[in-house]
Amino acid sequence: MEKLEMLYEGKAKKVYKTDKDDRYIVEYKDDATAFNGLKKGSVHDKGVVNNKVSSIIFAILEEKGIPTHFISYLNEREQLVKAVEIVPVEVIIRNLATGSIIKRLGIEDGLVFKEPVLEFCYKNDDFNDPIINEYHAKAMNLATESELAKIKEYTFKINDMLIEFFKDKGLRLVDFKLEFGRYKGDIILSDEISPDTCRLWDIETNEKMDKDRFRKDLGNVEEAYKEVLQRLNI
């Protein structure tokens, strides 16, 4: 597969065209941003770790019946993926309350929800990815009713699988963000699942092992990401 021109550069990844219309190459960068790009930095080897973590998780989800964009791990920073059109709706699942929801709703930090909370956000940096509901998504033509139904079904299944998967590795899956894409008429899981897009707390100590270490200047960001990868490989 030949890597051709760059199609898109995001905050953490670059997407390249290939000589096949239905394949992209995704390259993971070390750049780190938070608060919609207000805080900028870089974490040594973050791209290498996230590429590996996301490849491992997508391969597992695919094996368990979730359709994904993942095709293969190419090298330390690159993956071959299906060329999707990203649905401009971010999906967040929260098992425990922390982060933006505690400020928005006045909930106690660390509260365990009675059932997982699913939120949709409109993927629009100019407006800070605002929360929307399904009516906005349909009315604004961001996704159809049947696409939203599939997205919800896959998201809850992924949550169930990943809670167990991470528990086995001594990690609590607090919350995470997913993105889906359109590919040949289907909705498939896209983007990445990594310590950039999940909150993962050590089950014993509640130590944060994810991007909150960067967001909140907690230190040892690289070490925490590498620890997550190491636990996944066991």
Task: By CB under 6 A, name the binding residues for ligand ASP.
Answer: 11, 33-37, 211, 215
Closer Cβ to ligand TMP, 78 or 175, answer by number: 175
Closer Cβ to ligand ASP, 80 or 162, answer by number: 162
Where on the phi/psi map is residue 65: left (φ > 0), alpha (ψ -120 to 50), or beta?
Answer: left
The answer to the question of residue 159 lying near ligand TMP (CB under 6 A) is no
The answer to the question of residue 124 lying near ligand TMP (CB under 6 A) is no
Least CB distance to ligand ASP at residue 213 (A): 12
Q: Which of 126, 128, 143 is nearest to 181 (CA)?
A: 143
Binding segment (CB under 6 A) for ligand TMP, from list 20-28, 41-49, 51-59, 192-200: 192-200
For ligand TMP, the binding residue among 42, 75, 100, 220 (CB under 6 A) is 100
Give 127's contacts (C-beta < 8 A, 6+ positions apart): none
> Which of ligand ASP, ligand TMP, none is residue 35 near (CB under 5 to 8 Å by kind)?
ligand ASP
Identify each DSSP E strand in the chain by its residue range: 3-9, 13-18, 23-28, 31-34, 39-42, 70-75, 78-82, 85-86, 89-96, 112-122, 131-132, 171-183, 186-190, 198-202
Cα distance between residue 210 and residue 79, in whole Å: 21
Collapse the DSSP code of 100 into the 3-class scheme (helix H, G, I; strand E, B; otherwise coil) and give the result: helix
Least CB distance to ligand ASP at residue 95 (A): 18
Contact 120, 137 (CB under 8 A): yes
The answer to the question of residue 69 lying near ligand TMP (CB under 6 A) is no
The answer to the question of residue 175 lying near ligand TMP (CB under 6 A) is yes
Q: Which residues bind ligand TMP (CB under 6 A)?
A: 92, 99-101, 129, 175-177, 197-199
